[in-house]
Structure 1
Amino acid sequence: MGDDDAVRRDERPDFTVIAEDLRFPECPRWHDGALWFSDVYDGRVLRLDPVGRCEPEVMAELDTAPAGLGFLPDGRLLVASGTDRTVYRREHDGRLAVHADLADVAAWQLNDMFVDAAGRAYVGDYGDGSAPPEPARPADLIRVDPDGAAASAAGGLMFANGIVTTDDGATLIVAETRSVPGRLTAFSVGADGTLAGRRTLCDFDGGVMPDGIAIDGDDNVWVASPFTQEILRVDAGGAVDRRLAVPHPYAVALRRRSDGGAGGGELFVCSSPDWRPEVTATDRAGRILRITLA
């Protein structure tokens, strides 16, 4: 293997802090020229214009723990609300309406979510209330159709976390944070949104517990690994081909190059030195970082 083919393990990219004083930022999405994300323990969904350094705009407030975000084809926001296991829809006038009640489908607290071009939402949940070192329990990945009908899309996932699809929408990829080892799992997506052909895209070593993920125009998956403090890039064949040393990354969003070309763009990183609610209540050390990709 030549030097050009070696995995770059120690890249330490420059980054800019574009938002801070957050409790626990998560589930970022680049949409319509802005970064949207949840401040989970603050109960807020925020929109941030990354041009300059300005205060995030509050787009929704909930008494629960907002997590995964996505957008319907008409631009309305969907929010996976963790503790009440409900997906809410933000109407054009700002009101929140129940899009889907998942209390009878989800095993426990809702987590990340991906909404495809047809408006189908794929929602993960924690599986149960355990935390390391207690073993995780498998749970379903849930599909919510545009009309709010919900059903299991796939079973037996170990803490389904970040979710993306390839550019053609034919493959859905899920980060299983608490599988051993941590892994990215891929499914083929049918025309009606059904998932089949489950397979492992990548098994991680070195204690990586994959959290939030993003995908670029070459179908490389960018993976936040908070406990090893790095962002990994997994190529379309499942090989880790790049590692960026970044402080406490829990989730990433990608803004692609404005000219549509391959590579480059910007990564937005949800960073926090701690994930525990009682710690973040006083520390408020969560930040949004911006990294320009070569």
Structure 2
Amino acid sequence: MQIDVVVDVKTTLGEGPLWDVEQERLYWIDSFDGRVFRATHDGREIRAWDVPMKIGSMALRKDGEGAIVSLARGFHALDFRTGEVELIHDPEPGRDANRLNDGKVDKQGRFVAGSMDTQESGPNGTLYRLDPDFSVHTLDTGIIVSNGPCWSPDGDTFYFADSWSGEIWAYDYDQATGNVSNRRTFVKIDTSRGGAADGSTVDAEGCLWNAQVYDGKIMRYTPDGKLEREIEMPVRKVTSVMFGGPNLDILFVTSMAKPPLPRFPGDGVLRGSLLAITGLGITGIPEPRFGA
């Protein structure tokens, strides 16, 4: 196993690595600076787009050259050719203490993303589903910081974390309707060291990988919630993970250069880097695109 820096762009709050198997390109975001990045798996051909506010996550679209982005004030469409951003729907008008955060696409092309309390203190967030017809539906409420949405390989189990709950949850996922039920604890996170569950992905074996932010660790959990391995990272503020590369066998890891609140720890020279873990002997699964 080897850990390398792929791109050192010092993202203030790097998040949401997304490997597109069609283009063979990696996308990731700077949540605080409002930027979308794209590069090859080895960090070449870097391209960036600005968005007009903080961004929580993105999903590539099936139709056309663009993405759906969850910005602070709602779901928007980003056109990669022109750079234009157009509002689709703001599910929380007037709630300026909240913003949309982490999200991913299910097998049916629906984008599931949640909101968060910007001070990370109150259960004011909601988990939403944006359907291909641009209708928005509420899936869960009472969340402080929405993070880590992903699905089991068969699509029947949905994983999600409220970072400061100390747990990653599993839900039954109805693929026909996109609704969730039967929320239960998948794993309990050891928060005694100051860490919390951030972004997650699921590999081809059905195991969940989670970035434990502020603790500098990547954890792999088996489908029954057992800790299978723990990887110590060279930065503490790791934020999210995604398998990519031509063979889907590189684990990309985003990080943040500056913590959002002063109580969180700083990092060294590698802060804000996009990192890659190779030699794991494990592959991921392709991420779906948004749309019918």
Query: Which bracket does the TM-score occupy, shorter chain normalised?
Result: 0.7 to 0.9
How many Å separate the matches in 1 of 2:88 and 2:17?
20
Q: Does 1:46 align with 2:37?
A: yes
What are the superposed Cα offsets for residues 48-81 of structure 1, whole Å, 9 maximum, x if unpaired?
Answer: 1123x425211x3112011211123336411111
1:72 matched residue in structure 2: 61
Question: Are the structure 2 counterparts of residues 55 and 20 from structure 1 closer, same or farther at C-alpha, using a change threshold of 3 Å?
Answer: farther
Give the secondary structure class of the aligned counterpart of 1:42.
coil
Q: Kindly tell me the number of residue pairs found equivalent between the two proteins.
A: 265
- Kept in 1: contact 2:68–2:76 (CA 8 A): yes
Counterpart of 1:241 in structure 2 is: 228
1:175 Cα deviation from its structure 2 partner: 1.9
Q: Which runs of 5+ in 1 are unaligned?
A: 1-12
Could you tell me which of 90, 101, 106 is aligned with 1:111?
101
Shift of 1:92: 6.3
- The question of whether the paired residues in 1 share the 8 Å contact of 2:19 and 2:245 is answered with no
2:87 corresponding residue in structure 1: 98
8 Å CA contact retained: 1:105, 1:151: no
Secondary structure in 2 matching 1:178: helix
Q: Which residue of 2 aligns with 1:270?
A: 254
Q: Is the aligned partner of 1:34 residue 2:25?
A: yes
Q: Which amino acid aligns with 1:43?
A: G
Q: Deviations over 1:95-154 (max 9, x none)?
A: 33223222249771111011123221111111x2334xxx43253211111111112111
Give me the TM-score of the superposition, normalised by structure 2: 0.82
Change (3 A) 1:61 1:206: closer
* Structure 2 residue identity aligned to 1:77: A
Deviation at 1:230, TM superposition (A): 0.5
1:251-262 superposed matches below 5 A: 251-255=240-244, 258=247
Aligned to 1:7: none
User: Is the Cα contact below 8 Å between 1:112 and 1:161 reproduced in 2?
Assistant: yes
Give ranges in structure 2 of 5+ residues lacking alignment.
282-292
Separation in 1, partners of 2:202, 2:2: 21
Find out whether 1:15 has 2:6 as its counterpart. no
| TM-score (normalizing by structure 1) | 0.81
Structure 1 residue 266, shift from structure 2 partner: 1.1
RMSD after superposition: 2.6
Aligned to 1:4: none
Secondary structure at the counterpart of residue 15 of structure 1:
strand
8 A Cα contact 1:73 1:117, kept in partner? no
Match of 2:46 among 56, 65, 69: 56
Alignment partner of 1:183 out of 167, 178, 181: 167
Give the Cα–Cα distance (whole angstroms) in 1 for the partners of residues 209 and 129 of structure 2: 23
Distance 1:118 1:101, change over 3 A: same
Deviation at 1:209, TM superposition (A): 0.7
